[in-house]
Amino acid sequence: MAAPRIANRHLLSRLVGPRLSSSTIFATTRGFLSQRSFASSTKLWQDFKTPSDGSHTRSVALLMLPRRATKSEIEALLKSKGCDIKRMQIRLDKFTFHNDTMCFVELGSEQQAADAVESLNNSQFQASTIIAKILKPDFVWGPLTARQTGAASRYFFDEGNGAEEAVRPLLEGRRKMLSVQTPGWGDPKGTVSEANATAIEIIHNTFDKYGLECVGSLRPFYGDKKSKPRMLCHLDFKTIEGAEKAVRDLDDTEIAHRRTWVKNSEPSAWRAHQIGKVNPALLTQLQEAKIAPEETYDDLFNAPKEDRPSSFRRVKVARE
């Protein structure tokens, strides 16, 4: 899994580098868009973008963050360094509630920003080495409406009712889990990126007619040739009718020469735990709807391997 982090590092160096353009900022704050939607989305961003308000000198970019770190945990880290937080921008994956390893924060003064960079750059945070840099003058915060316009993204901004909207497909029964017989679609001898590109094309060709709204991150099979089906990704549909018809028509059928299953999405114990870290009230709502389990697991993948017990330690998430 090292390759994506290396690619991310290259992308992030451009974010804080001297030649940053508004189109580059769009790419980094929106994520990697599909080729067919990038051009139109970039134009929309340019239509809505706002000039720099001079806040960059008192703002920092936190990069290479651990994905399971939440907004409240990052806020606590900054406050422990004496920072007065004025504004924070962080994206989360709507299917996993993990961040995208980046966070942008406006602080109370230029001195606070300088001190934060000195204290946090190349420091350890939740077993990860993070990077802290002052924002460049052409960084664009951008209005919320502009950032959310364009092709559906699996990311949402952790502000306002973003988290509530992220779990709405779960509550309404519009989120499904797609599993495919191993070794999945694509050439088994090809690269993961080639297999993912093939899978995305098949998914859209198959599910778009059912009102496909959003595709979650793909889980590569890494050469697994066992006959047991593996989860490939989660799918959000625009309507419950479309989602249910996709299940009726396609569950336990053959798609592109592979047996395929389309089932209801039910958060695992550790996924529910992550949702509860981000928004405890949402976890309570999912539990009361009998969608999330009453007990959740610590996400032990967040701990060093030598500290992980042989089995998951169950933790009851206290309701507020």
Query: Which pLDDT does position 220 carry in this prediction?
Result: 74
Token readout for 6 is 């290396």
Q: Residue 201 is which amino acid?
A: E
Q: Are residues 53 and 188 in the same domain?
A: no
Whether 320 maps to a domain, the answer reads: no
Whether 140 maps to a domain, the answer reads: yes
Give the list of residues 6+ apart from residue 277 with CB closer than 8 angstroms, or none. 68, 70, 73, 97
Tokens 């190349």 locate to 122
Query: Which pLDDT does position 9 carry in this prediction?
Result: 43
The list of the chain residues with pLDDT below 50 reads: 1-52, 143-151, 311-320
Contact between 215 and 155 (Cβ < 8 Å): no
Q: Are residues 66 and 143 in the same domain?
A: yes
% of the chain at pLDDT higher than 90: 59
Whether 201 maps to a domain, the answer reads: yes
Instruction: Measure the CA–CA gap between 46 and 23, rounded to whole angstroms.
Output: 8
Domain finish residue from 109, 134, 164: 164
User: What is the total count of domains within the chain?
Assistant: 3
Q: Are residues 144 and 217 in the same domain?
A: no
CATH number at residue 245: 3.30.70.330
Domain finish residue from 144, 164, 184: 164
Residue range(s) defining the domain that contains residue 302: 269-315
Query: Which pLDDT does position 182 carry in this prediction?
Result: 85
Q: Please give the torsion angle defined by the CA atoms of residues 238, 240, 246 and 249, in that order, rounded to the nearest 10 degrees.
A: -150
Contact between 233 and 180 (Cβ < 8 Å): no
| Radius of gyration of the chain, Cα coordinates, nearest whole angstrom | 21
Domain finish residue from 164, 183, 213: 164
Whether 38 maps to a domain, the answer reads: yes
Q: Are residues 85 and 122 in the same domain?
A: yes
- H-helix or E-strand containing 145? helix 144-147
Q: Are residues 244 and 181 in the same domain?
A: yes
Backbone angles phi, psi at 194, to 5 degrees: -65, -40
Q: Are residues 214 and 235 in the same domain?
A: yes
Whether 27 maps to a domain, the answer reads: yes
Q: Are residues 7 and 148 in the same domain?
A: yes
Q: Are residues 132 and 254 in the same domain?
A: no
Q: What is the residue-wise DSSP string for 39-78?
A: HHHHHHHHHH-----SGGGGEEEEES--TT--HHHHHHHH
Q: Are residues 127 and 255 in the same domain?
A: no
Whether 297 maps to a domain, the answer reads: yes
